[in-house]
């Protein structure tokens, strides 16, 4: 059993903050989260604002589909998903920060801000449905700016925590 553990930890480095793949994944996650606003590529929003016409209709259709999908998921399984997310985040936080498992810390620092983005997306979806699409460009732009702000804070805090783990605590 000891040999299996040693082999696995050699192949998969569980020291996430010193692993280049973790930082690449972090950048990709936040880049993707800020590009897809409620599941709609942001270049579609800018093209609709610039060109109007068919591009505007396509944007409204895509936003309507994604808003309805998101709100249906929240209405159908919202409480279960909330309970599962809270359980998973609490487990990651305890395992990571109480038992000092770096891999769980990294997952928590990635998942917790994304849960905030998901809650913000639900709020924005409700706002879009209530406004019946009025001011859509402004709402999507504000949502994207909020997601980018959460991403910047998240990347900064993750980088600070990772540097502290690597410099102060050092290797396992």
Mean pLDDT calculated for residue range 26-49: 94
Is 22 part of a structural domain of the chain? no
In a domain, 79, yes or no: yes
Residue 38 lies in a domain: no
Let me know if residue 131 belongs to a domain: yes
30 within a domain of the structure (yes/no): no
Query: pLDDT for 117-157, tens place per residue?
Result: 999 999 999 999 998 767 899 999 999 999 999 999 999 99
Mapping DSSP onto H, E and C, the string for the chain reads: CHHHHHHHHHHCCCCHHHCHHHHHHHHHHHHHHHHEECCEEHHHHHHHHHHCHHHHHHHHHHHHHHHHHHHHHHHHHHHHHHHHHHHHHHHHHHHHHHCCCHHHHHHHHHHHHHHHHHHHHHHHHHHHHHHCCCCHHHHHHHHHHHHHHHHHHHHHHHHHHHHHHHHHHCCC
With cut-offs at 50, 70 and 90, classify the pLDDT of residue 172.
low
* 154 falls within a domain: yes
Which structural domain range is residue 89 located in? Answer: 48-166
- Give me the number of domains the chain comprises: 1
| pLDDT score for 170 | 62
Look at residue 28 and tell me if it is in a domain: no
What does the pLDDT read at residue 87?
Answer: 98
pLDDT at residue number 10: 64
Q: What is the pLDDT of residue 2?
A: 77
């Amino acid at each position: 059993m000891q040999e299996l553990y040693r082999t696995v930890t050699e192949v998969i480095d569980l020291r996430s903050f010193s692993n280049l793949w973790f930082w690449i994944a972090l950048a990709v996650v936040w880049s993707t989260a800020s590009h897809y606003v409620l599941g709609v590529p942001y270049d579609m929003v800018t093209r609709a604002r610039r060109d109007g016409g068919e591009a505007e209709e396509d944007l409204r259709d895509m936003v309507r589909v994604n808003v309805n999908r998101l709100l249906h998921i929240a209405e159908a399984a919202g409480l279960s998903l909330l309970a599962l997310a809270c359980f998973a985040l609490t487990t990651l936080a305890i395992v990571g920060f109480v038992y000092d498992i770096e891999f769980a810390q990294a997952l928590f620092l990635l998942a917790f801000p994304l849960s905030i983005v998901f809650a913000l997306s639900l709020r924005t979806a409700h706002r879009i449905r209530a406004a019946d699409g009025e001011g859509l460009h402004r709402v999507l732009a504000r949502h994207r700016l909020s997601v980018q702000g959460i991403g910047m804070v998240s990347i900064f805090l993750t980088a600070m925590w990772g540097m502290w783990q690597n410099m102060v605590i050092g290797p396992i």
